A and B are shown apart, each in its own frame.
Chain A
């Protein structure tokens, strides 16, 4: 595939040989990932496998000790989460980072409000917020509702919409269904599927194999900070993936 590469074959985001240590602890050792436009890749591993550290490097929170990040095939260095966001990498953290007391529109454009001079351009904000929410097809009562009145799934939807509204071409989702019931999980997974259909690249971190297996195009597994294997959706079975997660190298 690399030989007859066209534009679509260049990953939106790739990490090659990324390593990171904290003191004497090697959190990541030569880890790779690549996500293309219109692709959902899952990142799996046990607690402490290095998933959080890895996505924080992708999100610009940490700088890697070694290895490189590529956006659209070009090497990049993120000095801060804002720089990652400017390059199109938006991260939805598990805590969602929403201001619950504020309404949906305020949260969607948090820190990036539309302005006229020093004032907030409310009209434009609410209009753009409605467009952003509608495009992801998830029911939110109104963009003027405060977030503390929303359900867990609706909050997740707001956080994902924000990642998109802020220009995320690559959306990293950290355990998006962890706190949700069956019905809301299904709706959020549908929303993630929509991201793929819009041609975005998605990196999905989840413990729930039932959620990951039907959705992911490829699955990257980490074990103790090292790459434990990559499986495509065709070859992925729960058994294989679990064995990789446990560090079984015979797979």
Chain B
């Protein structure tokens, strides 16, 4: 575990607690939790993918397509079952296409998903004809804004994602095989681990995480747009890299990613509370990403000694 980030998290926490009277409150923490819920779910899926040795860059634009599909169907008066069913089908199709390119054809995951990301992004825009569709399923909207036990549903989903991710990676046999696949695929193959099926599983998982993210955004904004999710890729990846998962595969823990996610959430929230204009926040976001990449490079160098 990288203690540097935990220290940075605590430092940011203390700083904003002193600098803003609004920071240190249960209400604000729930706001932070809500604001990172989609990024956090994506980051969890990216973490599992990176450990298995694939990077899925198409999750952001999948969110856009899913939100558009959900909004269009709601506009047409479809039932919640149809809306959610269609969204999941989109997710499965996205995951299936990525799997075909990466596992079946053997194309590098970054290149393959860079291409499919563009396809999905464009598909979302075409379906919505470049507009934002203002329509949402009633049940979806109230599900996303519900607060059982005072906790917003997206925060609950976020927590469940990390618990499930932890159990998968640390406890399940499948999780151990995910590490082996990302660590040394040919060794895993020779040991009888079904690496192709594992990569397919991981890619479907990230597509479905994006589907959940798309539905949360559609339910929260009561709308759909191909532009939703555009920056979520980079935010989620920043959180993953800040957490220290690394791009080389085979190592890392999902708890580290959660710390990275919380760090990004606290940073954005604190800057907002201090009235930092949003366009400055984009720059901060970019620098945070650079910092994350530099940390990863530094870690790899020190590992090679």
Contact = CB atoms under 8 A, between A and B. Distances in A.
A binds B: yes
Interface of A: 81-82, 85, 93, 95-102, 106, 110-113, 115, 118-120, 148
Contacts of A97: 184, 186-187, 190-191
A99 B190 CA distance: 12
Interface in B133-186: 171-177, 179-180, 183-184, 186
Given A106-B180, A110-B193, A99 B173 contact: no
B192 A82 contact: yes
Contacts of A106: 176, 179-180
Contact of B179 (A99, A115, A119, A148): A99
Given A102-B179, A111-B191, A118-B173, 15 more contacts: A97-B190, A97-B191, A98-B184, A98-B187, A110-B180, A110-B188, A111-B177, A111-B180, A111-B188, A111-B192, A119-B171, A119-B173, A120-B171, A120-B172, A120-B176
A96 B183 CA distance: 13
Contacts of B186: 95, 97
A152 to B, nearest CB: 15
A206 to B, nearest CB: 21
Q: Which secondary structure characterizes the binding site on chain A?
A: loop
What are the 6 tightest A-B residue pairs by CB atom distance, in nearest-first order? A111-B191, A97-B187, A99-B183, A101-B250, A110-B191, A101-B251
A100 B191 contact: no
Contacts of A119: 171-173
A194 B103 CA distance: 42
Nearest to A122: B171
A102 B183 contact: yes
A97 B187 CA distance: 4
A118 B176 CA distance: 11
Contacts of B184: 97-100
Contacts of B177: 111
B191 A112 contact: yes
A111 B195 CA distance: 11
State the main secondary structure of chain B at its contact with A.
helix
Interface string B184-211: 1011101111000000000000000000
13 contacts: A95-B186, A97-B186, A98-B187, A99-B179, A99-B184, A99-B188, A101-B249, A101-B250, A106-B179, A111-B177, A113-B176, A118-B173, A119-B173
Contacts of A110: 180, 187-188, 191, 193
B187 A99 contact: yes
Contacts of B251: 101
A99 B250 contact: yes
Nearest to A80: B192
B195 to A, nearest CB: 10
A96 B174 CA distance: 23
Contacts of A113: 173, 176
A79 to B, nearest CB: 13
A115 B171 CA distance: 10
A194 to B, nearest CB: 23
B116 to A, nearest CB: 28
- Among B174, B180, B249, which residue has the most Cβ atoms of chain A within 10 A? B180
Nearest to B174: A118
Contacts of A120: 171-173, 175-176
A100 B186 CA distance: 12
Question: Which of B174, B179, B192: most chain A Cβ within 10 A?
Answer: B192
Contacts of A118: 172-174
Contacts of A99: 179-180, 183-184, 187-188, 250
B173 A102 contact: no
A115 B177 CA distance: 13
Nearest to A59: B190
A189 to B, nearest CB: 24
A148 B248 CA distance: 14
A100 B250 CA distance: 9
B170 to A, nearest CB: 9
B183 A101 contact: yes
Contacts of A101: 179, 183, 249-251
Nearest to B185: A99
B124 to A, nearest CB: 36
Interface in B27-70: none
A1 to B, nearest CB: 36
A112 B303 CA distance: 29
Nearest to A61: B190
A72 B175 CA distance: 37
Contact of B183 (A82, A100, A111, A115): A100
Contacts of B188: 99, 110-111
Given A99-B188, A118-B172, A111 B193 contact: yes
Nearest to A106: B176
A99 B182 CA distance: 9
A111 B178 CA distance: 11
A59 B39 CA distance: 47
